Amino acid sequence: MNVKSNSARLIFAALLALPIAASADNFSYRYADVARFPQAEIDADGLDVDGEGLQLRGSLPFYENFFAIAEYQALDLDNGVDTTRFLIGAGGHWPLGTNLDLVARAGVASYEVDFGAFDDDDTGLFAGVRVRTVIAPKIELEGGVEHQSAEVAGLDADTYLIGEGRYNFTPNWSAGAIITLGGDTSVIGAQGRYSF
């Protein structure tokens, strides 16, 4: 069994064991958010570059526990390497407790890498599962794993560990941190969200 698989299981088990705060509001799956990544890295076959990036994301419920999702990510890396990623798909959420949701997402992922005259792109699928919980009044954590099958410019299909933490200033506005690790691409940054 590989290290990534063990890490994913440990994170998932730890999130399930977190205490639940009974006073928190229900989760919203109707939101738009933006993330700024001051630290972004690609470490793939023959490519090891650092830089920064931006991510825009939205979710909109369409039937009972289900929602549509769209996501755009752009990374500006060393040596003129630029990457863009579009995700579009759907997800569902199911309560596991008072303030604990199991969240699943799946859809289509499109990647492009530009480096001078070099330009490569690929389209594949993504699928993942995560848990979303409240650990204290106004403090929310979300984490899990997501597999993406697109392969572009030496970036392999891979499974990523995803973690997010948010402080809910009001029922509509929140801010926090976001991190993605475990595959060829890793990002760490800050996030702001508007729920409506």
For residue range 121-143, list pLDDT tens digits in order. 999 999 999 999 999 999 999 99
- CA distances to 33, 95, 128 from 70, rounded to whole Å, are 11, 23, 14
Tell me the sheet residues that pair with 43: 48
**Residues 172, 195: contact at Cβ < 8 Å?**
yes
Q: What is the pTM of this model?
A: 0.83
Per-residue model confidence (pLDDT) at position 9: 53
Tokens of 113: 């890498």
The phi and psi torsions of 8 (rounded to 5 degrees) equal -60, -40
Per-residue model confidence (pLDDT) at position 3: 46
CATH number of 3-195: 2.40.160.20, 3.40.50.1100, 2.60.120.200, 2.60.40.10?
2.40.160.20
Instruction: Tell me the pLDDT of the chain averaged across its residues.
Output: 88
Low-confidence residues in the chain, pLDDT < 50: 1, 3-4, 14-25
9 three-state secondary structure: helix
Displacement of CA 125 from its chain's centroid (Å): 15
Per-residue model confidence (pLDDT) at position 117: 80
Query: Which residue reads 């570059």 in tokens?
Result: 49
Per-residue model confidence (pLDDT) at position 6: 54
Report how far residue 116's alpha carbon sits from residue 119's, in angstroms, rounded to the nearest whole number. Answer: 8
